[in-house]
Structure 1
């Protein structure tokens, strides 16, 4: 060891050490100086000793690594020469203070390349001689980067726990708080120091501790993680909602010594979620349950009946004439009426224990969770009676209110016979309600699957679905059927017929579909498709052949359809003379003024007019001169047995005579054999149509049309067994 100032380097740091008392006999075989040197060499700190001229006289091995130099390059050189001027200037005040007798400790970042990016802790310790004079300064340099990072991290965690609005605590196995943060202390209006060491029971009360907290803490102490929401009622009856999370607190060896409990106030979010859930299940206008909530209630009824037996019921209620009130008094009046009806249903809910709901528009529903057929029908009639007697007054005007109701029963037998869904129940109630409206309204009817009226209702609904699907998917098909002149040189025509195609690609019998389409007001839309499609493909028809298109009674009476048809023809005036439109006698008479206007517009553009189903009305000859027509088509019922029936022959002859008098051609349909054809030629008919003349043939298909599957050998496609009547007669025509 180097000596500085005439004495040994390693001396007691303070001369007061000698005054501590006599030193016991030294029992080791090595001297103290050697042992102290070994201790210094063992330390991980970099140590060097400098004199008052800042020259380094002693170092340990660790400092060699810190300085990044050899021992020869360090010993005898100044601090500035070994560590650089910047480091020397930074450490010089602390070294000078040590020579003045003041030890110090500083921490900072390394400045030199070997130490940059690390955190260093530097100790400056004066070394005293036996005479009490400071001979040198011992400087210890320690890399504390890891400790600094841990300290920073711990400080950060402590600050997060301190600043967070969540209430964070660590609770020991004895149910006492080992740690808590300010948020938790603030909630209990206490200081942190007052909570640490406190028993949970003393803080939250014995009842809450024993009923909930203790069991949850015990589960956490056993190693389980818990997460739940808890409604906490305050002393002022205010309820706050807490999201509680508990995690086991483990020591380094993995043993559990407590639980980390985090409480978050989620009152605002919870109330909002509850409000949204309520809105999702509640009708915004009336406050009743909505369709979604009704389906849930029905689902519960189905499950209960299936598992436990008994019966339940659904009553579907549809107001009669609600549109009239909306149109006359406005939508505000309509809304007020719906709210008044909802209030009335609530009174039944309180008395009968039922679940009322609004399905939308003017439709309501009531679920009876336990009810017989008789009880459901009785309640339905009482609700309808209340509606009739209910006074609805708006702006001084009194309005009468009535409704129809359909009832669907849910019984154990139905649930056992096969899978029945809530939608099946809803559809059954709707069908019964629709039937109640059709037979006059203001009544309640229980759904019966075997009743012929209900069967017809289901068929009509099925037809409606086929029609809508065909229109939406453009899955329609046009056929043509020839109309041939009886005499040589006469005009040839092709009647355009419409076929519907179902989802399986099969052609569906058109008669019932057309009736359903007319009943539900879809014929103008269908007629638009036919007109548009026929005009798009008319150039494919042989020159000199006239296409005849059928117009429904709804389209004839629709001014918007007239505007569409006229505008479409004006876009292609060159094809108008190749078209003729068939209008049924009954439709023309029913909408006489509109029909006359439409006929005039079509004739002005060169289109032909055919009065279809002539003779089906009671006063056919009376109305014949009311319309400017080119041809009339005798109703098939008159033609059916014309070859054998002299009365029918007389009627046909009379029609031909009148037609010749006013310059109108006569077409006979349903011509099925040569004998009929010969009879009609003799009677003076101008043109004929029927299976003997030519069967319907496919012409144009919609973009979404899928060709039907081929029939088995000897088989027939659906609809092939229809006679000509079902393909041409209006309104049951195949169109």
Structure 2
């Protein structure tokens, strides 16, 4: 016998429905289109707080709460639903009674009567303010520098691309100018990072004051800003850059550590006369900035090409063509140099050093073509080839652990990071046997971007080494921020260490700094047994240099099967363990 439905059952069911809706954070509404009344179910106080007058009682009242910028979009979606049967699914902002706006996700459907006439619209509102704010922040960070609020490097380069293209089309001149704070690393070390950040923000403000409103400004790395100046001649561009340099030094920057006197330098590249692409203009402006710093800093440099420089540039382009052809024909290969344990000199991993094989059989070392490739803007393509070669070698030799070198430009280039992820995201067996080396000076140029790159590589299982450690201004704070796994002590401090007490003291301090952060230390350029002995005594864990082997072509593993290469992931570092 069928049990009669009781009113108490309906009340319990409604209570459960109300509880479920409130738990989900939704508000249910029924909009009667005939008399324009709206009935609500759920926590309307959170949606329209504070509830002095309650939620909107009519459709018109609800529409009046919608943000003016969102009214047309909501109305179009509603009209398309009522007239064409398209889904009613829209996000918009509603005003609460305290005058604030909250984002809501509104989904619903009409209920038509027997004659087909629309009777009511039933739907749900869900608060999505947190998600929209996160999305807005991500969109902001994709275009703007978080510290200064100016464009970031990617957005600035896009604007430069468009401006250069426009200059090529119209024949108007323009300039790209790079501004850099002189000795920012020293300011950070002397006064702290907060003072350095304040200096950077002040530089951005002074750029805003000195340049035109139509000029585009962006932060392109740790201590440098770039500016795109459209429709200017060389004289005007140089005068603008010099005005900024003067304004930087004119008055100290007020920081929490007190006033800090700062100087800056600038580099100017004119387009399209000196550059016909954004990357070319940026590279040449950077070159002019470096020249200004070499000449004493606190000045403006202009990219200029002498006849001798033109000859050098033509030769460089020839080398670039040769390297590109070698990449196409598979004539780039690795030479391997062992990195050994300081105790028993067992190979722990090998560093991959690039070599170019010419058609006549000559082998060209990386030092003869990599600097040129960096200057003419082909380093990203070369580093991509290095990645491909390393992955192939690791796949071919399961006993190998390899270290590859990439340029500082590549370390902050998102496309190379994406290639790394694509190659290794499902290959943990390869990732744990790959070490990526970046130079200390390149890492310090843009610590934030480099730290992000290191984190992404480590998430895959790779290890990251800081090369030329000690050659720059690395501090305890820098090492904490960068979170590398290995530091390679610059060879200039290793040479003659057995006789030079100053080098011994410096290396001892570098090793102590690394050990305090539980980092593995490698001493480079070890050429004698006595140097190896002194370094081991000082606490270096790994050694590299001609004393243990010169870079050699061909994989060393098949030739020496008994001396299996030790996987860095499994190797026990006696010195580090003893320190613990």
TM-score by length of 2: 0.48
Greater relative contact order (Cα 8 A, min sep 6): structure 1 or 2? 2
User: Could you state the TM-score of these two structures normalised by the residue count of structure 1?
Assistant: 0.39
